[in-house]
Structure 1
Amino acid sequence: MDLRARWPASRLLVAAVAILIIVSAGAITGIAVAMGSLSQARERLLDRVVPAQQAVQDLDSALINQETGLRGFAITAHQDFLSPYLDGQDAERRAEDETRALLAEIRPDLAGEVDAIGRSATDWRLQYAEGIIAQVHLSGAALPTLGDVTRGKELFDRVRAAVADLRGDLDAEARAARQSLDEVAAEVVWLSLGLGVLLVVIIAGVAVVLHRIVIAPLAVLAAQARKVASGDYAHAVDVAGPRETVMLAHDVDAMRQRIVSDLKELQRSNSELEQFAYVASHDLQEPLRKVASFCQLLERRYSGQLDERGEQYIQFAVDGAKRMQVLINDLLAFSRVGRITREQTIVDCDELVAQVEDSYSEVIERTGATIVRTDLPRVRGEASLLGGVFGNLVSNALKFHGEDPPVVRISAERTGELWTFTVQDNGIGIAPEYAERIFVIFQRLHHKDDYPGTGIGLAMCRKIVEYHGGTIWLEPGQGPGTTFKFTLPVVEEEETGDTDE
């Protein structure tokens, strides 16, 4: 599939986020509208209907105060009792004005009922209350009766009935406003719950989609990459998914193909190296053996017939041929480390060091050397190669000794998942500035006439230790002599136990 036809992961992410934002915005807008309706319903009930009910209540109280004041003035003729009647009229006008203003915003149709209350109150005062007051003023004394009580009661009952009608209408309006408020509140609650559920569903959906189109392809790519990394270079890497994932898969597969190509080239190079090793071990050494043999024959046959210089030349030739043979053998051994592998087994380092001591018993006896070792662990590796490491280090300690008899101390200490081996001697030592040079092949710090050797030993040690998963180095500042340290991986006790069985 053409990469340009695939959506990149960034676009998929933007699309998922855009969907989430759009849906969330729509739901939030709906909740905002519902909250606006809720606020309006609350305002209508609390700021309009309830105050209107209170204003009608005040109007009713003002009318009752007028009737009560009239009754007290007629019975006692005291002017003080006439004050509630007069004040009640002012309160009545204020209550009517407030009621009209509030009803104009919620129920303009009820304004006529307020007017009806005013007319009924006016009729009661003109047709009944004012006449009673005039009689008391003319007589100057209290009235034994309130005149035509039936007429007054009838007129005031009309007033109270008009007030009751208005109050009933406002009570109905209050119930309707409360019901509307409850409905809007319930709608807000359901919208909020719906938004929460919707967000959970959308987030879960986006997570599932992203997992399928991004995470899952990356997991498949990682699994295929691990398979190639484990050595299956023939496995082609091919992953579906967003553009970046497919491009990354193509890059990994291109790297795999490059590795396959380099591996083939390396195999060809190794094949040529093996052929060279065969030539070096057979064809090159045969002329050297002949040179050495004939030079030795010349030395024996013409011994005493040649002058001192001639015999010295023959010795140089024999010595050069022998050293060339040793150098070729060392080079072959160095090239075979890690290339010609054998099965790795559990190796007892104590036994390896004991074998080294036995191999160098003549040198140890001649130099008066002492080898001190602590209990050494078991490790996994090739016994012959690890024996070569101990052999080279012990051989160097015996070779580069000072005036005192050599003392070689070999110990091991566990540091985490590694064993750290220490080989320390009391010899001539190595300057710290040569700490890296000594591990380079053919690098010698002394002339071959002073100390024999090819300069391959420590380079061989490094290659063997690194082949076994460790490192080797020269430890500075450990007093007189030389201290080498190297590490090897720890072998679990269960594994060593199984091997022993």
Structure 2
Amino acid sequence: MTDYRTRWPASRLLIAAVTILIIVSASAITAIAVALADLTEARVEVLDEIGPTRRLVIELEGTLVDQETGVRGFALTANPDFLTPYSNGQDAEKQIEDAARAAIRTARPDLALRLDDIAALSSAWRLEFAEPLIVQVHAAGSPQLVANDTERGKALFDRVRNALSALRGDLNTAFDASRDRLDEVADQVLYLSIGLGALLVVIIAGVAIVLYRILIAPLTGLAAQVRRVSAGDFTHEVDVNGPRETVMLGQDVDTMRTRILRDVEELRRSNAELEQFAYVASHDLQEPLRKVASFCQLLERRYSGQLDERGEQYLRFAVDGAKRMQVLINDLLAFSRVGRITREQTVVDCAELVRQVLDNQSETIERLGAVVEVGELPSVRGEGSLLGGVFGNLIGNALKFHGTEPPLVRVSAQRTGEFWTFTVSDNGIGIEPEYAERVFVIFQRLHHKDDYPGTGIGLAMCRKIVEYHGGTIWLASDREAGTTFEFTLPVVEDVQDE
């Protein structure tokens, strides 16, 4: 038999399985969390840093172009209105540069420095060209733009434009790289999520398989072996594998099986002794009783008239006692055999059983002027001879314990769920409710043997037979007159369907 001490307990196995599941799940979740953090960082870089900076650089270029156009227009026309874009553009340029510098400083500090270079170039253009030109036009009061000034201003502004173009190109490159990284991280998160889902499915399936092999399968095997033992195979040794609790439970069941087997063997020995006793009771004990009765009857016949009245009364008492002892031994033997000596149970027609009982009681029925009403009775499964004894005892008692009126006996049956409830009622002397249980006790009599013959074993026999067939019997105490006995027997569905 398996040693339970070498087995892990189920709690430890469960903790190990859950721990593995938690570790693997936590690792996978951590990887996804890291990937999600990278995804957030890439998204912020694309949407909140490089992307907005690209847009601001374009706006910055537009603002500088407006300034250059305004200065050129003022130089050509001396109209002060042309200086409005120049003046407003400087404020807008400063705001745009600050916003772009703040957006790009974290992601690309090198590009933020490029904005400083652009600011220096634009400031040089204003100081070296735009501001002197504006002062010159104001002083002259007329257009003052000449070819040399135009070339010099264009060269200075081209430096700004080229720096902006280079920055724009670098921003586009950085944006494409950030977008590719965003797509890559998004794919990574997707793959990790799918992988985690698949991993969890595999882990759950693995844990389920492991739990089935180490818990459910051993329990199923133990249950099958227990059913085998409970079905009567007490020689089958219960031996199971699995966790410590299952092995210990199997050992406990096997210990119980061993004890039951020992008790069964003791019961068989006891039954053998009872059968031996029954044999002695039915043969060896009855033989001397028959001799006593026979010789007492011979004495009565031979010495009839020679004995006084007291002597003849003694002989009659002896003969009657011997005969009653024979009847008592036979009844006791029959009572002991119920459920011990079994025969094959068949489908029995209760109506036919009652008809046979009435045929056997026909002389008594005719002598008493009795009326027996029999309703529709079903067929049940059981031993016909035993069930016939139940109906015989109940109907016989109804005829025996009659009142002043001719006996009226009713036999009927009614289905109640999974059972048939049979009723045998009469108009006889009745039984007080306080004796409802006593009447079913063996050898218990409510009347003197001289008033009503019998051994007092009939109703005890009825109870034992009915319970042997899976039913119950009782005295109905809610009847105003007479006696009513009711008993149940299981319904046989296949019989009802035919």
Normalising TM by the smaller chain, what interval? over 0.9
Please list, as runs of the form range in 1=range in 2, the aligned pairs for 1:5-404 lying within 5 A after superposition.
Answer: 5-142=6-143, 148-404=149-405
- In structure 2, runs of 5+ residues without a counterpart are none
Counterpart amino acid of residue 279 in structure 2: Y
Equivalent pair of 1:132/1:147 in contact (CA under 8 Å): no
1:230-265 Cα shifts (integer Å, max 9, x gaps):
222222111122211111111121112112111111
Aligned length: 497
Are the equivalent residues in 2 in contact too, given 1:346–1:496 (CA < 8 A)? no
Q: Using the TM superposition, give the Cα deviation of residue 44 of structure 1 relative to its aligned residue in structure 2, in angstroms.
A: 2.0
Rounded to whole Å, the distance in 1 between the matches of 2:481 and 2:81 is: 128
Secondary structure class of the residue paired with 1:346: strand
> 1:384 & 1:143 partners in 2: Cα distance?
143
On the 8 A contact 1:132/1:146 being kept in 2, the answer is no
Q: Counterpart of 1:430 in 2: which secondary structure?
A: coil
Q: Distance in 2 between matches of 1:344 and 1:496?
A: 19
Amino acid at match of 1:26: S
Code of the residue aligned with 1:216 in structure 2: it is A
After TM superposition, the structure 1 stretch with the greater mean CA deviation from structure 2, 267-276 or 310-319, is 310-319
Shift of 1:476: 2.7
Partner Cα distance (1:438, 1:72) in 2: 134
Gaps in structure 1 of 5+ consecutive residues: none
> Which stretch has the larger CA shift, 251-260 or 81-90?
81-90
Equivalent in the alignment of 2:454: 453
Distance 1:96 1:496, change over 3 A: closer
Task: Render the CA deviation track for 1:448-498: whole Å, top value 9, x for unaligned.
Answer: 22222111101101111122222222223134222212222333446997x
Is this contact kept in 2: 1:74–1:146, CA < 8 A?
no
What is the CA deviation profile of residues 247-299 of structure 1, one whole-angstrom value per residue up to 9, with x for unaligned ones?
Answer: 11111211121121111111111111111111111222222223323333333
- The Cα RMSD (Å) is 2.2
Q: In structure 1, what is the Cα distance between the partners aligned to 2:287 and 2:43? A: 113
Counterpart of 1:412 in structure 2 is 413
Where 2:381 maps in the other structure, the secondary structure is strand
TM-score (norm 2): 0.94
Q: Measure the CA separation in 1 of the matches of 2:97 and 2:286.
A: 133
Provide the secondary structure at the position in 1 that maps to 2:106.
Answer: helix
Q: Name the counterpart of 1:424.
A: 425
Which range is displaced more, 282-291 or 31-40?
282-291
Q: Please report how far the alpha carbon of residue 198 of structure 1 lies from its aligned counterpart in structure 2 after TM superposition.
A: 0.4
Q: Aligned partners of 1:10, 1:290: CA distance in 2, in Å?
A: 75
User: How many Å separate the matches in 1 of 2:402 and 2:34?
Assistant: 96
| Counterpart contact for 1:72–1:81, Cα < 8 Å | yes
Residues 379 and 495, structure 2, Cα contact 8 Å, conserved in 1: no
Aligned partner letter, 1:5: T
**Can you list the C-alpha shifts for 1:188-217, whole angstroms capped at 9, x where unaligned?**
110010000001001111111111122112
CA contact (8 A) 1:52 1:99 kept: yes
- Residue 319 of structure 1 deviates from its aligned partner by 2.0
CA distance, structure 2, for counterparts of residue 305 and residue 91 of structure 1: 160
Residue deviations 1:11-39 (CA, integer Å, cap 9, x gap): 11111111111110110111111111111
* Distance of 2:276 and 2:452 partners within structure 1: 33
Alpha carbons of 1:489 and 1:157: their partners in 2 closer, same or farther (altered >3 Å)? same
Question: For 1:377-435, what per-residue CA distance to the aligned partner results, in whole angstroms no more than 9, with x for missing partners?
Answer: 22222221111110000011011112221111111223333322211112222222322
Deviation at 1:164, TM superposition (A): 1.2
Change (3 A) 1:489 1:111: closer
Compared CA separation, residues 100 and 493, structure 1 to 2 (3 A): closer
Q: Distance in 1 between matches of 2:189 and 2:293?
A: 107
- Could you tell me the percent identity over the aligned residues? 69
Closer/same/farther in 2, CA of residues 367 and 207 from structure 1, 3 Å limit: same
TM-score using structure 1 length: 0.93
Cα distance change of structure 1 residues 238 and 132 upon mapping to structure 2, 3 Å threshold: same
CA contact (8 A) 1:281 1:329 kept: yes
